[in-house]
């Protein structure tokens, strides 16, 4: 089985690397070709075009930044669907709107492709470790075909329904992620205002019923006030915007969406999502 991979950012490189480590033949494409060098050194091949990738691979994964990038990769003038290939299974692991997933799925059907939306929950660490949670929408038989590969990328892969179901679940879990991170940030700032040191409050959180691997994993960044992006704040702001566009309007959803949007406008977008603490501390 020949595997194609499109999108070699912070997530794409370790995920494609896990498929290489599992013994699969992987061919890659990226808008910036030199980003492929770490994978080429491990045995991956480099495609000259998206059409070439689609024509030569049985399954093609896409992991790009947003809705417009997904549409360009699939339906652009030099996109995957211009290849003339038939029967290729495309698996989009990007975080986009359910509407975009359904649109791309229909374009794929018309072109003779099959399509799954399969976004992931987890950032760079779980991607490297193959411990992502993968949420899948599309035909169940297509899911069955790709599941052995998904099992190399994540600790759990769930088929949730037709196209759009995977991206719907991703927006829901990222809403909880945004609320959790902001809640932790507000808790730490409140404790600090009453004289409780941040390091001690982090210990209390970790040992309590509300302690999570997420917050434990952010401890070093919080204590150093240094936020290299595992999951960039700009992506959280985008995901919360998409959730609002899908109709969520509950009090916490409105609050966190506004806060991350303001942090993005304040220039923190390229930092980790936990940099919401720095933004709130300025207020």
Q: For residues 23 and 17, what is the distance between their CA atoms, to the nearest angstrom?
A: 10
- Reference 124, options 40, 9, 211; nearest CA is 9
Residue with tokens 């669907």: 81
Is 170 a residue of the active site? Answer: yes
* Cβ proximity of 270 and 218 under 8 Å: no
What contacts 147, CB < 8 A, 6 or more positions away?
A: 157
* Cβ proximity of 24 and 81 under 8 Å: no
* Cβ proximity of 165 and 140 under 8 Å: no
* Angle, vertex CA 273, rays to CA 131 and CA 173, nearest 5: 55
Q: For residues 79 and 216, what is the distance between their CA atoms, to the nearest angstrom?
A: 41
Alpha-carbon distance values, 28 to 9, 53, 201 (Å)? 12, 8, 45
Q: Which of 2, 27, 170, 238 is catalytic?
A: 170
List strand residue ranges (DSSP E) for 78-153, in order: 89-92, 114-117, 120-121, 132-137
What contacts 178, CB < 8 A, 6 or more positions away?
A: 236, 239, 240, 256, 257, 260, 273
Residues with a catalytic annotation lie at 170
């Amino acid at each position: 089985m020949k595997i194609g991979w499109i999108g070699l950012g912070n997530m794409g490189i370790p995920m494609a690397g896990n498929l290489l480590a599992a013994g699969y033949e992987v061919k890659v494409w990226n808008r910036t070709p030199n980003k492929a060098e770490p994978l080429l050194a491990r045995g991956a091949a480099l495609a000259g075009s998206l059409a070439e990738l689609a024509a030569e691979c049985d399954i093609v994964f896409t992991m790009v930044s947003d809705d417009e990038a997904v549409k360009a990769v699939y339906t652009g003038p030099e996109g995957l669907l211009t290849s003339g290939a038939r029967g290729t299974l495309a698996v989009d692991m990007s975080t986009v709107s359910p509407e975009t997933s359904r649109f791309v799925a229909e374009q794929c059907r018309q072109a003779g492709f099959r399509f799954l939306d399969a976004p992931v929950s987890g950032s760079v660490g779980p991607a490297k470790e193959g411990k992502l949670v993968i949420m899948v929408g599309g035909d169940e038989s297509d899911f069955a075909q790709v599941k052995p590969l998904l099992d190399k990328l994540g600790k759990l892969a769930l088929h949730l329904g037709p196209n759009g179901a995977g991206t719907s679940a991703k927006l829901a879990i990222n809403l909880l992620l945004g609320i959790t991170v902001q809640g932790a940030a507000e808790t730490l700032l409140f404790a600090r205002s009453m004289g409780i040191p941040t390091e001690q409050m982090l210990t209390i959180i970790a040992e309590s019923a509300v302690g999570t691997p997420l917050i434990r994993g952010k401890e070093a960044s919080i204590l150093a006030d240094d936020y290299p992006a595992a999951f960039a704040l700009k992506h959280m702001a985008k995901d919360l915007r998409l959730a609002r566009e899908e109709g969520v309007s509950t009090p916490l959803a409105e609050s966190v969406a506004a806060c991350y949007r303001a942090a993005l406008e304040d220039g923190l977008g390229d930092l980790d999502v936990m940099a919401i603490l720095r933004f709130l501390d300025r207020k």
